[in-house]
Amino acid sequence: MSRQDAFERILQSLHAAAFADARWTAASGLIDEAIGAHGSLLAYGDGATRDDVFFARICARGERHRELERAYYGAYYPIDERLPRIRNLPDGRLTPTPALSTEAEKKTSPVYNELLPRVRARDGLVVRLDGPDASRIVWSIGDPVDRDGWTSERVATIRRLLPHLRHFVAVRHGLLKAGALGASLLDLLDNVRAGVVQLDRRGRVIAVNGRALALLRRSDALRDEDGRLRAALPGEDAALQRLIARALPSRDGPGVGGSMPLGRPEARSRLVVHVSPVHGEGVESGRGGVGALVLVVDPAERAPVDPERVGEALGLTPAESRVAAALAEGRTIDEIAAASGRSRNTVKWHTQHIYAELGVSRQIELAQLVASLADLPGRGAEAIRGGASGAGVRTGPPQIFCKTHT
């Protein structure tokens, strides 16, 4: 297989992984093989505190290592002295892992002396990327598999992959906010939180959901011109057409995804458009002839939390579920009391009982646990509650530990 064929396989796998979370493991395995690495950690979050991690996976050669995730986020993440330096790395700069630790830390740091050798990453590379909604994406690449080290060819492949990793995270994040992670293309047409447009292999519009139809009718960021998707602002349309053209399949190979912001003639805020190729492998479309998917999201919009789903998944009473959902949306106890007509003491009592029941101690931990429900379609209450009550959820991002019970 040629290097170009191998790279195109990676892109197809990444596009499939954006729609089906479990496929990231296979994609990371192809990446490890292409760059000659033992494995990697991919994570993203808002980066403001140690708790705000939305997604993290440690994989090696096509296998996910949950025990290493538990070890890192349960024991090492709170004491990882490299994190402030990683957060402040310039966007896209590849940095050797040893350069992130001082000489003194190399002698005494548990992260450097215990964790990195265990995950075979002490001679790896780290890169930080600007992610969606002002988040930070961190890709920590493991040691080279041979003595060739980080050759110019391997480094070039890594750099070539960076925009595609950024797009993978952006699409995944948009689907997560829309409550549509893991949905088929047909199911996406029923989604009410994000605009969805399906294009055929020639780039013509063949299906839209209600949210996208409303945008098109108002020419709000996008418009439909004789079956072609156009930007409402003329100055942005050329860039959108290039984005769509790159995503569609061609004689040169499969398409390549990309994202861009779009201005809105009647609003100050901007929307973000993610254009992704649709391949037969890994994506259940439910209809033939789909060449690309356009996902339109509003970065300023906060996804509502369904109290019924929260209660069902976490085993809470209806009253507790409503309080938990409101807390997950960032509301204060006083705001919840005013909106519900209950006393502040009653809401506070419910909050304390929720924290004790779920094994969390802060509102951010509860919010992360509730957000993880969108990443776990079809999971039962016992699986999620098991992840919330065991070791680790109090010292690391709950989403990671919730997923250990599959």
CATH number for the domain harbouring residue 380: 1.10.10.10
Q: Looking at the domain assignment, is residue 333 inside a domain?
A: yes
**Does residue 77 sit in the same domain as residue 162?**
yes
Rg of the chain over Cα atoms, rounded to whole angstroms, equals: 22
DSSP bridge partners of 52: none
Same domain, 313 and 331: yes
- Asked whether residue 34 is assigned to any structural domain, the reply reads yes
Are residues 170 and 22 both part of a single domain?
A: yes
pLDDT value at residue 335: 86
Residue 113 CB burial class (10 angstroms; 0-12, 13-18, ≥19) = middle
- Can you give the pLDDT at residue 377? 39
Residue 303: predicted pLDDT? 61
- Examine the fold and report which residue of 265, 297, 329 is the final residue of a domain before the chain moves on: 297
Domain co-membership, 218 together with 125: no
Answer yes or no: is 302 within a domain: no
Q: What pLDDT was estimated at residue 339? A: 86
3-state secondary structure the chain: CCHHHHHHHHHHHHHHHHHCHHHHHHHHHHHHHHHCECCEEEEEECCCCCCCEEEEEEEECCEECHHHHHHHHHHHHHHCCCHHHHHCCCCCCCEEHHHHCCHHHHHHCHHHHHHHHHCCCCCCEEEEEECHHHCEEEEEECCECCCCCCCHHHHHHHHHHHHHHHHHHHHHHHHHHCCCCCCCHHHHCCCCCCEEEEEECCCEEEEECHHHHHHHHHCCCEEEECCEEEECCHHHHHHHHHHHHHHCCECCECCCCEEEEEEECCEEEEEEEEEEECCCCCCCCCCCCEEEEEEEECCCCCCCCCHHHHHHHHCCCHHHHHHHHHHHCCCCHHHHHHHHCCCHHHHHHHHHHHHHHHCCCCHHHHHHHHHHHHHCCCCCHHHHHHHHHCCCCCCCCHHHHHHHHC
**Domain presence at residue 342:** yes
Regarding whether 96 and 28 lie in a shared domain, the answer is yes
Instruction: Quote the pLDDT of residue 225.
Output: 94
Confirm if 384 and 373 have CB atoms less than 8 A apart: yes
- Tell which of 130, 151, 177 closes a domain: 177
State the residue range of the domain holding 116: 3-177
pLDDT tens for the chain, residues 1 to 406: 688 888 989 998 998 888 887 889 999 999 999 999 999 999 998 754 445 677 889 999 999 998 998 889 889 988 999 999 999 999 999 999 999 999 999 999 999 999 999 999 999 999 999 998 888 999 999 999 999 999 999 999 999 999 999 999 999 888 877 777 777 878 888 887 889 999 999 999 999 999 999 999 999 999 999 999 999 998 999 999 999 999 998 877 778 999 999 999 887 788 999 999 987 543 444 445 789 999 998 877 766 678 888 888 888 898 998 998 888 877 788 889 888 888 988 999 999 889 888 888 777 678 767 766 654 333 333 333 333 333 222 233 323 222 222 2
Is residue 148 domain-resident? Answer: yes
Q: Are residues 236 and 343 located together in one domain of the fold?
A: no
pLDDT of residue 304: 66
The verdict on 288 and 335 lying in the same domain is no
Domain final residue, candidates 266, 297, 328: 297
Residue 189, domain CATH: 3.30.450.20
In a domain, 252, yes or no: yes
Rounded CA separation 236/258 (Å): 14
**Is residue 74 domain-shared with residue 148, that is, in the same domain?**
yes
Q: What is the CATH number of the domain that holds 51?
A: 3.30.450.80
Amino acid at 391: A
122 & 8 share domain:
yes
Question: Does residue 172 share a domain with residue 189?
Answer: no
Other residues' Cβ atoms within 10 Å of the Cβ of residue 138:
21
Which of 91, 70, 88, 80 minimizes the C-alpha distance to 50? 80
Structure-token pair, residue 382: 């016992």
Q: In which residue are the tokens 């919330």 written?
A: 388
Q: How far is CA 278 from CA 29, 70, 210, 284, in A?
A: 21, 34, 21, 9
Q: Is residue 80 included in any domain, yes or no?
A: yes
- Is 224 within a domain? yes
Q: How many domains does the chain have?
A: 3
Q: How much is the pLDDT for 114?
A: 96
Residues 280 and 311 in one domain: no
Other Cβ atoms closer than 10 A to 2 = 7
Considering the domain architecture, whether residues 316 and 353 belong to the same structural domain is answered as yes
